[in-house]
């Protein structure tokens, strides 16, 4: 018995010693901490095994507005999890101290595999508060300016919708498709073509495949040691894309690209970024413009097509924007797509798709000790995680039907609680491409229901499940394929389509 007590005492003393040496020194002003089931390493193991699900489960169990997890080895030795929409807004108000841009700059360096010289340029003076230039702030400011409603957005929207229309027209010759794969290919073609122009590297099927290989484990390139070995597929995919963009520059591709690509190229050149590092940045930029657009498009189309009443509602809403004319037996159809994105039911479907499937996590890094909302001390160098699921499935914000997909939810008169919808991010990380993405997806939904009757193979629409395993994605893609049959709709097949903005 004495030996047993002595052994227990030794174990307790050893655990106490480890916690004293490696544990996080907590401040009474910090948010409450949740202790791990297994001392010191418990939270790290939980995050590695369960990813987002780990802190989502803790949030649902403890019902705290904000809490800390002590994780030795992480920057700052801790992570703060925020579950309150009000505190999300507080984070956005303190964007200089609680920085998203520093996180994105660091991720860009790792995901792209930048040289030390380029890494120094990208991560220097990120917020632009010091003297001299800020490559990162210049690039982010440029993106927001170029992608706001105006001439440049109009040009890429016109180009993108024309490419979408040609692809949709080809469905008249096809009877059966995998809906998700078709949308992935269609969005990739229209989006990258409108950005990169006639010499678009993504036109090569091998480069499109390389992008998917990279995207499948992009986070691994910054999370695991020796990514060339531990993330071989993603690494090789990225390197193929880098080679393709080097060729793109050699062929003077930017000269015939969109204004935003030309502007970004000028910023990189004047900042002293080498050609190789510019190709590396371009290789991972596809993740920003494609990774979350394609799954959002899939879920919007899936929920629209699988509800006959919704199909009819959207048809009735968009048909007035199409003018049909016939001359010498030749049928012409002109659609005013400037009005499509403002159709309430289409906007609601898109926003509900984002609410329902945007399970990712917003991330910030604490640049200096900061009092959040004058209540909680956040320690320097720590990370902040803001899980979308905590806000998007909060009954107090959305009602008791929060788990259901309600296509009309965003048409209701009662506004949702500020901070409760994070489909486009928020604050300084509000998605610069949100207007373009909404334009493209709205147009795609409209054209599909106008021109086709779509039926699932087997006769019943079956939800394919949402895949939350890819940490690099904010919007979960489907797990299973959805096979559908397309049939040209009576009275809407044929004719030459044109579009006005």
Cβ(55)–Cβ(68) below 8 Å:
no
Q: Compute CA distances 500 → 32, 216, 321, 338, 378, whole Å.
A: 56, 37, 10, 7, 51
Cβ(193)–Cβ(203) below 8 Å:
yes
| Helix H or strand E encompassing 18 | helix 2-22
Round to whole Å and give the CA distance between 325 and 102. Answer: 54
Q: Compute CA distances 458 → 435, 461, 463, 475, 484, whole Å.
A: 36, 8, 13, 27, 9
**Sheet of 98-99, strands arranged across:** 66-70, 78-82, 383-387, 361-366, 98-99
Whether residue 231 is annotated as binding a ligand: the answer is: no
Secondary structure (3-state) at 146: helix
Instruction: Report, as an integer, the average pLDDT of 174-201.
Output: 95
Q: Is the domain covering 118-124+132-358+423-500 a CATH 1.10.630.10 domain?
A: yes
> How close are the terminal C-alpha atoms of the chain, in Å?
85
Share of the chain above pLDDT 70, in %: 95
**Sheet of 322-327, strands arranged across:** 322-327, 330-336, 496-500
Q: At what angle do helices 205-216 and 232-250 cross, to 10 degrees?
A: 140
The most confident of the ranges 46-60, 233-247, 416-430, 461-475 is 233-247
**Each residue of 321-360: b (16+ CB within 10 Å) or e?**
beeeeeeeeeeebebebebbbebebbbbbbbbbbbbbbbb
Cβ(284)–Cβ(111) below 8 Å:
yes
Q: At what angle do helices 308-318 and 434-451 cross, to 10 degrees?
A: 100
Cβ(472)–Cβ(183) below 8 Å:
no
Convert the pLDDT of each residue in 312-368 to its tens digit. Answer: 999 999 999 999 998 877 899 999 988 998 899 999 999 999 999 998 899 999 999
Lowest mean pLDDT among 194-198, 223-227, 352-356: 223-227
Cβ(143)–Cβ(268) below 8 Å:
no
What confidence score (pLDDT) does residue 103 get? Answer: 92
Round to whole Å and give the CA distance between 235 and 228. Answer: 6
* Local structure of residue 475 (DSSP, 8 states): B
What are phi and psi for residue 365, nearest 5 degrees?
A: -120, 140
Round to whole Å and give the CA distance between 257 and 261. Answer: 6
Per-residue pLDDT band for 44 (boundaries 50, 70, 90) equals confident
> Which among 123, 146, 145 has a CA at the least distance from the CA of 136?
123
Secondary structure (3-state) at 301: helix
Round to whole Å and give the CA distance between 230 and 89. Answer: 38
Query: What global pTM score does this model have?
Result: 0.91
Instruction: Report, as an integer, the average pLDDT of 162-186.
Output: 93
* Cα angle 151, 153, 156; round to 5: 110
Secondary structure (3-state) at 14: helix
Query: What is the rounded average pLDDT for all residues in the chain?
Result: 90
Convert the pLDDT of each residue in 299-319 to its tens digit. Answer: 999 999 999 999 999 999 999
Round to whole Å and give the CA distance between 242 and 283. Answer: 6
Question: In the predicted model, is pLDDT for residue 72 greater than 50?
Answer: yes
Question: In the predicted model, is pLDDT for residue 384 greater than 90?
Answer: yes
Higher pLDDT pick, 47 / 344: 344
Write out the residue limits of the CATH 1.10.630.10 domain(s) in the chain: 118-124+132-358+423-500
Q: Compute CA distances 284 → 11, 110, 275, 392, whole Å.
A: 48, 10, 15, 28
What are phi and psi for residue 10, nearest 5 degrees?
A: -65, -40
Convert the pLDDT of each residue in 277-291 to its tens digit. Answer: 999 999 999 888 898
* Local structure of residue 485 (DSSP, 8 states): E
What are phi and psi for residue 379, nearest 5 degrees?
A: -85, 145
């Amino acid at each position: 018995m004495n030996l047993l007590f002595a052994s227990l005492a030794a174990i307790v003393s050893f655990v106490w010693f480890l916690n004293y040496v490696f544990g996080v020194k907590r401040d009474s002003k910090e948010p409450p901490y949740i202790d791990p089931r297994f001392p010191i390493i418990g939270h790290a193991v939980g995050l590695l095994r369960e990813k987002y699900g780990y802190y989502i489960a803790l949030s649902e169990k403890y019902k705290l507005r904000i809490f800390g997890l002590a994780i030795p080895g992480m920057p700052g030795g801790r992570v703060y999890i925020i579950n309150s929409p009000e505190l999300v807004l507080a984070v956005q108000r303190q964007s200089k101290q609680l920085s998203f841009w520093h996180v994105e700059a660091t991720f860009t360096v790792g995901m792209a595999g930048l040289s030390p010289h380029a890494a120094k340029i990208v991560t220097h003076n990120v917020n632009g508060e010091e003297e001299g230039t800020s490559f990162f702030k210049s690039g982010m400011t440029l993106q927001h300016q170029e992608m706001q409603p105006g001439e440049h957005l109009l040009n890429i929207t016109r180009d993108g919708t024309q490419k979408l229309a040609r692809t949709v027209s080809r469905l008249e010759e096809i009877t059966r498709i995998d809906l998700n794969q078709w949308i992935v290919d269609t969005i990739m073609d229209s989006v990258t073509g409108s950005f990169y122009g006639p010499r678009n590297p993504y036109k090569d099927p091998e480069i499109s495949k390389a992008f998917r290989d990279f995207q499948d484990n992009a986070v691994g390139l910054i999370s695991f040691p020796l990514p060339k070995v531990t993330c071989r597929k993603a690494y090789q995919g990225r390197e193929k894309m880098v080679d393709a963009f080097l060729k793109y520059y050699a062929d003077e591709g930017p000269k015939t690209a969109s204004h935003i690509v030309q502007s970004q190229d000028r910023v990189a050149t004047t900042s002293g970024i080498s050609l190789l590092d510019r190709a590396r940045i371009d290789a991972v930029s596809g993740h920003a413009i494609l990774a979350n657009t394609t799954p959002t498009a899939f879920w919007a189309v899936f929920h629209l097509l699988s509800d006959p009443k919704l199909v009819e509602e959207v048809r009735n809403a968009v048909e007035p924007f199409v003018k049909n004319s016939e001359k010498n037996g030749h049928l012409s159809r002109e659609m005013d797509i400037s009005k499509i994105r403002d159709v309430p039911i289409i906007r609601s479907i898109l926003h509900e798709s984002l609410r329902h499937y945007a399970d990712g996590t917003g991330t910030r890094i604490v640049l200096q000790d900061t009092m959040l909302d004058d209540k909680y001390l956040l320690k320097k160098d720590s990370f902040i995680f803001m899980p979308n699921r905590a806000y998007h499935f909060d009954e107090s914000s959305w009602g008791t039907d929060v788990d259901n997909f309600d296509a009309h939810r965003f048409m209701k008169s009662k506004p949702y609680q500020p901070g409760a919808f994070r489909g486009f991010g928020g604050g300084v990380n509000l998605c610069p491409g949100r207007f373009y993405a909404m334009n493209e997806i709205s147009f795609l939904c409209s054209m599909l229901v106008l021109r086709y009757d779509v039926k699932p193979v087997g006769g019943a629409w079956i939800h394919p499940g949402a895949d939350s395993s890819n940490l690099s994605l904010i919007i979960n893609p489907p797990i299973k394929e959805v096979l559908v049959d397309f049939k040209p709709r009576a009275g809407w097949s044929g004719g030459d389509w044109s579009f006005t903005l």
